[in-house]
Amino acid sequence: MDKIDRAALELREMDELAAMKSPVHFMHPITKLIITISYILTVVSYGKYDLSGLLIMALYPLFLFSLSGISMGICFRKMRVVLPLVCAVGLFNPFFDRTPLFSFGGIVISGGVVSMITLMLKGVLCLQASFLLAATTSMDSLCAALRRLHVPMLMVTLLLLTYRYVSVMVQEVSIMTTAYKLRAPGQRGIHISAWGSFLGQLLLRSMDRAEELYASMQLRGFDGSFRYAEGKKAGFPDYLWAVLLPIVFLLLRKYNLAELTGRLLMSAGS
């Protein structure tokens, strides 16, 4: 499938995911935003050799995936774009950092190997957290939340409008690419003779479209900002989660729970 068609499908998929019903979807968007940001900050703050401490943070996305009923596969499919850079940066660590950290069954594990795995795990966890936020929150409620957080109106309106038009434009480009491909079989992309006109044509049409759009918006009384219907009010559980989860993350960061319980079990066993 073409890149552009896949993008169209992915946009639709995200909209469908956000329209699902689950306890995570019903949570207040601001709460979700606070939790996600505090989670990402916590994950990123782990030391580069602190793999055992980081492992327990993997429970949070797992828990949310499980609770919201969203398939983890979709998230991993999306990661193919950005993960290579993280992996490429991490892959050099074993070569440069050969300090032995510990030996396990006779094999000496170097610091580079641990830091590489930690880096990749961090990358995956952070992406999962932001994916979960986007997949369980519709764009409208996300924008309303941003507005409540006093993000400038211009920015929020632009985000909302652009999001609306991204699917339209992706569709148009997809149609044009298909038409082009049908007339240029066996060619891998746009030929140099059409580099300017291909996107240029669409650009000119879009500029006209933008003017029409503005005219129609003005006819409906647009004054530079959108009105949001008062969304769901934050209830007690929303406040509770927004305070509780960041504290839990902080505690988990401070105390390595995995190692502590492991040590407890070991001492109990001996």
Partner 1 sequence: MHMADALLAPAVAATMYVASGTAAGISIAKLKKDENTQKLPTMAVTAALVFAGQMINYTIPGTGSSGHMCGGMLLSALLGPYAGFLSMIVILAIQCLFFADGGLMALGANVWNMAFYGCFVGYFLIWRTIIRSGWFRNMETKAAIRLKIIIASIAGCIITLQLGAFSVVLETSLSGITELPFGSFVALMQPIHLAIGLVEGLITSAVLVFVFESRPELLQEVNSTEKGIANRQSLKTTVIILAAVAVVVGGGLSLLASSNPDGLEWALFGNAEEGYAENMGLDEEDFGVKSSAADTAAMVQEKTSFLPDYAFPGSESAAGTTVSGIVGGALVAGAAALICFIGGFFRKKKRPGTV
Q: Of the listed pieces 234-242, 243-251, 262-270, which binds partner 1 according to CB under 8 A? A: 262-270
Which listed residue (162, 178, 240, 247) binds partner 1 by CB under 8 A? 162
Q: Is the Cβ of residue 204 or residue 244 nearer to partner 1 in the bound state? A: 204
CB of 119 to partner 1, least distance (A): 6
Q: Is the Cβ of residue 182 or residue 230 nearer to partner 1 in the bound state? A: 182
Secondary structure letter of residue 221 according to DSSP:
T
**Neighbour tally for 176: CB within 10 Å:** 16
Which listed residue (32, 78, 147, 253) binds partner 1 by CB under 8 A? 78
Among positions 95-154, residues that touch partner 1 (CB under 8 A) are 95-97, 99-104, 112, 115, 119-120, 122-123, 126-127, 129-131, 133-134, 142, 152, 154
Among positions 212-251, residues that touch partner 1 (CB under 8 A) are 213-214, 217, 222-224
Cα 258 to chain centroid distance, Å, stands at: 27
Which listed residue (1, 81, 107, 229) binds partner 1 by CB under 8 A? 81
Q: Give the largest Cα separation in the chain, rounded.
A: 79
Instruction: Specify the 3-state DSSP secondary structure of 101.
Output: strand
Strands 107-110 and 100-104: antiparallel
Q: Is the Cβ of residue 46 or residue 230 nearer to partner 1 in the bound state? A: 46
Helix axes 111-136, 59-68, angle to 10 degrees: 30
Asked whether position 252 contacts partner 1 by CB under 8 A, the answer is no
Our CA angle for 178, 184, 188, nearest 5°, is: 80
Q: Of the listed pieces 165-173, 230-238, 241-249, which binds partner 1 according to CB under 8 A? A: 165-173
Which listed residue (34, 35, 43, 144) binds partner 1 by CB under 8 A? 43
The size of the chain, in residues, is: 270
Among positions 171-210, residues that touch partner 1 (CB under 8 A) are 172-173, 177, 187-192, 195-204, 206-207, 209-210
Q: Is the Cβ of residue 200 or residue 235 nearer to partner 1 in the bound state? A: 200
Residues contacting residue 67 through CB under 8 Å, at least 6 positions apart: 22, 23, 24
Query: To which H or E segment does residue 47 belong?
Result: none
Instruction: Specify the 3-state DSSP secondary structure of 85.
Output: helix
